[in-house]
């Protein structure tokens, strides 16, 4: 086999390995790591660990920091939750006032779904 043909075969082989590796990566990220067709969501700690190559000791420290921040967020949200609920209810009443009798049942169903999603997320 002449040199040109050898280089061409080698180039095709290397390209095949590269495309296969990329395909495997995409398959893993988009199909295997998904549940029910939805991408797996990484926690902030997991994302930071990957992005910053955190050591196990750093992960432990960041875990404590994130937990503390979350408790502060939760406490802050608990103080404003009643106001947020009042604003939400006012908005819903205002929307109901502009809907037709045919639209109202669909709106109520929409709100039921939204409220279920909010409850499932723990809000």
Res. 110 pLDDT band, cuts 50 70 90: very high
Average pLDDT, the chain: 84
62 SS3 class: helix
The more confidently predicted of residues 36 and 48 is: 48
Average pLDDT of span 112-120 = 92
pLDDT at residue 1 greater than cutoff 90 = no
pLDDT at residue 19 greater than cutoff 60 = yes
Model confidence pLDDT, tens digit, residues 26-35: 666 665 555 5
Q: Which helix (H) or strand (E) holds 64?
A: helix 56-98
Half-sphere exposure of 106 (CA within 13 A, CB side): 5
Res. 82 pLDDT band, cuts 50 70 90: very high
Q: Is the pTM above the cut of 0.75?
A: no
Q: Which residues are CB-contacts of 111 (< 8 A; sequence separation ≥ 6)?
A: 92
Closest CA to 92 of 79, 77, 110: 110
pLDDT of residue 20: 72
pLDDT of residue 2: 78
* Strand 38-39 with 34-35, pairing: antiparallel
């Amino acid at each position: 086999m002449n040199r040109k043909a050898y280089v061409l075969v080698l180039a095709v082989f290397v390209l095949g390995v590269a495309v296969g590796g990329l395909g495997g990566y995409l398959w893993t990220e988009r199909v295997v790591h998904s549940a029910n067709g939805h991408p797996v969501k990484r926690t902030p700690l997991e994302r930071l660990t990957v992005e910053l190559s955190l050591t196990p000791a750093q992960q432990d420290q960041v875990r404590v920091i994130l937990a503390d921040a979350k408790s502060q967020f939760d406490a802050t949200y608990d103080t404003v939750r009643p106001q947020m609920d009042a604003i939400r209810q006012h908005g819903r009443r205002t929307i109901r006032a502009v809907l037709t009798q045919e639209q109202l049942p669909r709106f109520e169903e929409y709100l039921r779904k939204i409220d279920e999603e909010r409850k499932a997320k723990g809000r």
